[in-house]
Structure 1
Amino acid sequence: MEGRRIEEAARAFIEQVGEPPRGTRLARWNRPVCVSVTNMQPRLAQFVIDRIAVNAFNVGVDVGEPGCKPNVIILATGDGPALAKKLVSEIGIGFRPAINHTDLGRNALQDFQNSDAPVRWWNVTMPVTTDTGDIAITLRSDEAPRTVTVRDGSRLRSNVRYDMAWTIVIIDMSRTNGAPLGVLADYVSMVSLAQVDPAADLSGQSTVMNLFRAPQDVSGLTQWDKDYLAALYAAPTDRANGRQQDAGVAHALIQQRREREGLEEDGGSAAPDGRE
């Protein structure tokens, strides 16, 4: 009974947290993460960069050397909507590349610009071939990148995977309500290392994503956050479809939770309900 409970909890966490673009699968960084922080005092900016780098390294993500070209761009501001609109106006195609299924779409981009959230983010992913890492280009349309499903032993795999390409995060310091910088950096880590649904109701989950919903209950990345990220980066990336990709991440997450808590195959675990 308890074994079933941890499986259901893991699958619910993945379903609620993750939001890849329509027709794609959960993406991750398959190249080193390089973080830049703008509009913060240098020592505070370096603290945030270091915190994200440590979080990335701890879940299996390579981190770029000093002087690397940023692909996680974090900007602090006193007016989140104004900065978001300015960036979209100036960068344009950087938010919605002319390659199919790289982002959440026009409506989501409107929400990114008009939201009153303390932190907003925009992830761009790229479909790439699994053998070479070259972009599997399809012009923006209703069609997904052309893939070939290959039977390999007892499993099905695709010749296309989805890589995180770049992420833009805006922190509206006028709306963070005094959140500790370390906890804020953990929050930004979560939305930079994975595709997190900004509209998700995660009030029933143990996650740093509840920082602005119930700040008294959040002290940083939770163990569920860490295990989810580790599972995301441990699971195979070449599953044939989104359902199989989710199942692969769920399997890795379930194994981690059982191993962490010293459980046998039929052991138990508390669901991620805010109590570690």
Structure 2
Amino acid sequence: MSGEITDEITVIGQKKREAAEKLGKTITRPSRDGKPVGRFDAPICVIVSGLPADMAEIIKARIEENIRNLKVLDVAEAGCNPNAFVGAIDNVNDTVDQLREREKWLFEGLLSFQIDRIYKGSHDVRAWHVFDIRNLDGSIIPARREGGGHPGDHNDVVNNVEKASRTMQLRTNLAGAVVLIEATALQGKTLRQLSDYATMRLLASTNDEVTDDSASLPTILTLFNGKSAPDSLTQFDRAYLSALYELPANSRDGQIFTAAASRYINNQKAIASE
């Protein structure tokens, strides 16, 4: 193989990596205060509503198949308490209002700007998560009284150092996930597309506005924001979920999309060699 061809392959590979890292950064909703990226730890109990029973069952089964394919997540047994909700409804904002009254736990710990972000959504979709900050081993963090020093004094510096150290020993569990889709937006979408879109929004805390223009590679997340969405989870989508759930539980945003890019490139190479 000549040097020019080798250089060209290297450049193409680098461009693909850059595109994958860019998309990872685009879709990842930044964690607050440098905390680890949120992900499910407990078995996932999916419920799909607002559709005919046979269609809802197909979507549920596909989401569960995607979960099992990750190898590190479990699907909850029959009769479980749902912690992953997918709904096709009329007027998504009205439904958010109703849930805030009837299912307050679905908004527990969310700040006002996060509530506002839910209502803004991505035109036809409202999606959010309930977060549960735990010790890295999964144990509950005991309540403690914050230290009293004044800003700028020695105690404040020590507290900041301790806070950074503690953050490295934390994990962010997803205790619940909700994806609400405007019923009128379902037209023209396949059940596989809906299932795979819901999978991404349930399993990962992603940004709402992922469009054709902002997506540097194909992703199912453009389903409601683009003109031509993929038929299913893309190679990048699968690489992203794999990175999210296989990396250590205290991984940060940048670690996730860097690892996702590596997985994507490796998968591309494997396919090319077949």
| TM > 0.5 fold call | yes
1:259 corresponding residue in structure 2 = 266
2:156 corresponding residue in structure 1 = none
User: Equivalent residue of 1:168, what SS?
Assistant: strand
| Partner deviation per Cα, 1:3-22 (whole Å, 9 max, x = no partner) | 43243223212211111442
1:72 corresponding residue in structure 2 = 84
Alignment size in residue pairs: 243
| Partner deviation per Cα, 1:78-128 (whole Å, 9 max, x = no partner) | 22121112112333353133xxxxx4x323322423557222111111110
| Partner deviation per Cα, 1:113-159 (whole Å, 9 max, x = no partner) | 355722211111111011243246579xxx99x75638xxxxxx821
**Correspondence 1:9-20 to 2 at 5 A:** 9-20=19-30
2:65 corresponding residue in structure 1 = 54
Name stretches of at least 5 consecutive residues in structure 2 with no aligned partner. 1-10, 146-158
**Correspondence 1:2-13 to 2 at 5 A:** 2-13=12-23
Deviation at 1:26, TM superposition (A): 1.2
1:226 corresponding residue in structure 2 = 238
Give me the TM-score of the superposition, normalised by structure 1: 0.77
1:158 corresponding residue in structure 2 = 168
1:106 corresponding residue in structure 2 = 112
1:149 corresponding residue in structure 2 = 165
Q: Of the two, which has the highest radius of gyration?
A: 2
The yes-or-no answer on 1:126 pairing with 2:132 is yes
Name stretches of at least 5 consecutive residues in structure 1 with no aligned partner. 98-102, 151-156, 240-244, 269-276
Q: How much is the aligned-residue C-alpha RMSD, in angstroms?
A: 2.8
**Correspondence 1:17-56 to 2 at 5 A:** 17-23=27-33, 24-56=35-67
1:274 corresponding residue in structure 2 = none
| Partner deviation per Cα, 1:6-60 (whole Å, 9 max, x = no partner) | 4322321221111144212211111211101122222111111111111111123
* Amino acid of the structure 2 residue aligned with 1:176: L
2:195 corresponding residue in structure 1 = 185
* Amino acid of the structure 2 residue aligned with 1:149: S
| Partner deviation per Cα, 1:241-275 (whole Å, 9 max, x = no partner) | xxxx2343244323322332337xxxx9xxxxxxx
* Amino acid of the structure 2 residue aligned with 1:209: L
Specify which structure has the higher proportion of helix: 2
Q: How far apart in 1 are the matches of 2:68 and 2:128?
A: 22
